[in-house]
Amino acid sequence: MHPSALLGLMAFVAAISAFPTAPDSAHSSPSIRNLKANIKNVVILVMENRSFDNLLGGQKHKGLDNPINAGPFCNPYNLTDASQGVGCTGARDFDSVINDPDHAIYGNNIEFYGDYNPDNTLIAEGKLVPHQQGFLHEQMRLYGAKQNKTFLAAEVMNYYTEDQVPVLTTLVQNYLTFNHWHADIPGNTDPNRAVLVSGTSYGHGLNDADFGNHALPQRSIFQQLTENGHSWINYHDPKGGTGPDAGYFNWTYASNNADKIVPLANFYTDAAAGKLPELAYLNPSCCGVGTNSMHPSGLISDGEALIRDVYDALRNSPQWKESLFILTFDESGGFHDHVPAPLAPRPDNLTFTLNTPTGQPYTFPFDRLGGRVPTLLISPWVSKGHVEQKGNSVHGKAVSYSSASILRTLGYLWDFEPFTPRVEHAASFEHLIRKKVRSNTPTALPSPVPFK
Ligand SMILES: *[C@@H]1O[C@H](CO)[C@@H](O)[C@H](O)[C@H]1NC(C)=O
Ligand SMILES: *[C@@H]1O[C@H](CO)[C@@H](O)[C@H](O)[C@H]1NC(C)=O
Ligand SMILES: *[C@@H]1O[C@H](CO)[C@@H](O)[C@H](O)[C@H]1NC(C)=O
Ligand SMILES: *[C@@H]1O[C@H](CO)[C@@H](O)[C@H](O)[C@H]1NC(C)=O
Ligand SMILES: *[C@H]1O[C@H](CO)[C@@H](O)[C@H](O)[C@H]1NC(C)=O
């Protein structure tokens, strides 16, 4: 054997033995058994309206597909008039964005496809694919008359630097970040939150009155866990503005389970006492200054303070060693992201129709995902600094993760079937739980920095 071949073989053997416990594949019995053996408590915090390229765009960590590692990315100021030039992604965003970008379904349409009324048939056939070129155009349409265009470009295209979001930076470096995680609907908050906890928005495409009126009839994770004998609490910031997501569902009230919706302050005392339920679901407050969800015009630094407080409480809880904290966002908020949203199975046969700025109605068939959003797994059971790329459906197809991945995975943890085809075909992530618990997790996170 040639000496270089021998060296190559030795390197190969060394590489194999560096990973003595190669992760089992998604949806497999060993990975499901390992999840069930090690994770007893799940904490889910769903923040508001930020794209991956916006919030994590300045993270230099290897494997993240974002503006600082792969950009810059540019959008024209006007999709039909090239003479107006382009605005490109750049470092430094604002603690508070004052002109909330369009994130209605038609807003996402023009941002992704350059058209308020894209052809659904061509999209479904894969003949019309998103180009992610319309974010700046739509921001100009909404606010161009009253705002300097350079400022508008910075609001919608720019990203936060590592120094501006020290809490997130520390989490990315110490835990697991998904590179391809999308909102389930290219639209507003409440429909996306409903998919996350029930697998469908039940045909809703806007934040309409049904959510607040407990009118959603479908099965939710809250009902399912109650029926399976598992505990849950929906901790809710009393300042309001999101959810409480358990409150969307008729079942929660009809079955007298609304007493499981409690103030967010209880999360901290329950964590300290080791009394967290199996599922702790947290609703932040939204959406103005003084709220903590990161939704414009709430401060990014106030959102970081909430994430740090939740982390510190869990990290110092007696339950930490059996906990999995899922930090995610409901939707991308109309902020630029350069990764197109893929098609996805329809959850049901419902559609949603709304009027667009052209005067033409647009009917959305719920057949594709929304924008890419930041999602992290935080637990002593995940690999330090791991960046997860795409996942696998139960049929072995490589697919992007989405909020439906949460129900897919929790179904393995707590023994329930997927509620909808969207969930059934979602990538699960139980295989990302390691076999050995880590002891090198940070005991506290840095303080957020208010800026500008
Ligand atoms: C884009 O440019 C065209 C042609 O100059 C103009 O008619 C249109 O109003 C512009 N659109 C926006 C959103 O500014
Ligand atoms: C527009 O805003 C940019 C950045 O905020 C600033 O540098 C520039 O001077 C402003 N231009 C005008 C015409 O106000
Ligand atoms: C919830 O369901 C109950 C019975 O199942 C029904 O009487 C009630 O009207 C429903 N409430 C809403 C808000 O839909
Ligand atoms: C949608 O409708 C078709 C045709 O009526 C039916 O076969 C199918 O089961 C429905 N799908 C769902 C998810 O309800
Ligand atoms: C982001 O969240 C807000 C608050 O829920 C919601 O109103 C908006 O539709 C979402 N984006 C928005 C604001 O649609």
The pLDDT tens digits of the residues spanning 60-80 come to: 999 999 999 999 999 999 999
Closest ligand 1 atom, CA of 77? 14
pLDDT above 60: residue 19: no
Q: Report the separation in Å between the CA atom of 331 and the middle of ligand 4, taken as the mean of its atom positions.
A: 27
Nearest CA to ligand 3 atom 7: 254
Indicate the pairing of strand 74-76 with strand 86-88: antiparallel
Site to probe by mutation for ligand 1, drawn from 77, 79, 80 as the one with most ligand atoms within 8 Å of Cβ, is: 80
Q: Which atom of ligand 1 is nearest to the CA of 79?
A: 1
Cβ neighbourhood burial of 177 (10 Å; 0-12, 13-18, 19+) = buried
Whose CA is closest to atom 5 on ligand 5? 189
Buried b (16+ CB within 10 A) or exposed e, 253-273: eeeebeebbeebeebbebbee
Q: Compute the distance from residue 258 Cα to the ligand 3 centre, in Å.
A: 14
Which ligand has an atom closest to residue 82 CA? 1
Specify whether the CB–CB gap between 293 and 327 falls below 8 A. Answer: no
**Which three-class secondary structure state does DSSP give residue 5?**
helix
pLDDT tier at 23 (50, 70, 90 boundaries)? low
Nearby residues of 387 by Cβ (< 8 Å), 6 or more positions away? 61, 62, 63, 64, 176, 177, 178, 179
- Residue 1: pLDDT over 50: no
Q: For ligand 3, what atom is nearest to the CA of residue 210? A: 13
Is residue 440's pLDDT more than 90? yes
List pLDDT tens digits, range 146-157. 999 999 999 999
Over residues 370-385, the mean pLDDT reads: 98
Residue 358 amino acid letter: T
Q: What is the mean pLDDT of the chain?
A: 93
- pLDDT over 80 (residue 268): yes
Instruction: At 54, give phi and psi (nearest 5°).
Output: -75, -55
Tokens of 446: 């840095």
Q: Is 236 in the pocket of ligand 5 (CB under 6 A)?
A: no
pLDDT of residue 22: 46
| Residue 310 in tokens | 């939740």
| pLDDT tens string 162-171 | 999 999 999 9
Domains (range + CATH), the chain: 23-56+162-432 (3.40.720.10)
Contacts 24+ apart (CB under 8 A), 141-146: 141/357, 142/99, 142/101, 142/102, 143/99
What does the pLDDT average to over 242-250?
97
Are the C-beta atoms of 395 and 185 separated by less than 8 Å? no
Exposure b/e, 404-431, CB count within 10 A at least 16 = b? bbbbbbbbbbbebebbbbbbbbbbbbbb
**CA 346 / ligand 4 centre spacing (Å):** 10
116-124 long-range Cβ contacts below 8 angstroms, 24+ apart: 116/356, 116/357, 116/358, 116/360, 116/362, 117/356, 117/358, 117/360, 117/362, 120/363, 120/364, 120/365, 120/367, 123/343, 123/367, 123/368, 124/343, 124/365, 124/367
Average pLDDT over residues 326-340: 94
- Determine the atom of ligand 4 nearest the C-alpha atom of 349: 1
Atom number, ligand 4, closest to the C-alpha of residue 420: 13
Residue 15 has pLDDT above 60, yes or no: no
Question: Ligand 2, atom 11: nearest CA belongs to which residue?
Answer: 148
The rounded percent of the chain whose pLDDT value lies above 90 is: 86
Alpha helices by DSSP H, listed for 144-258, are 149-157, 166-174, 189-198, 209-212, 221-227, 250-254
Which has the minimum average pLDDT: 9-18, 215-224, 236-245, 374-383?
9-18
Let me know if 14 is exposed, middle or buried by CB neighbors in 10 A (0-12, 13-18, 19+). exposed
> Among all ligands shown, which has an atom nearest to the Cα of 92?
2
Is ligand 5 within 6 A of the CB of residue 297? Answer: no
Residues having CB within 6 Å of any atom of ligand 3:
213-215, 250, 254
**Position in ligand 3 atom list of the atom nearest CA 213:** 13
Pocket of ligand 1 (CB under 6 A): 78, 80-81, 137, 140-141, 144
Residue whose entry in the numeric block shows the structure tokens 């494997």: 63
Q: Tell me the pTM.
A: 0.91
User: 77 C-alpha to center of ligand 1: Å?
Assistant: 9
Closest C-alpha residue for ligand 2 atom 4: 151
The DSSP call for residue 447 is P
Query: Cα of 147 to ligand 2 centre, how many Å?
Result: 10
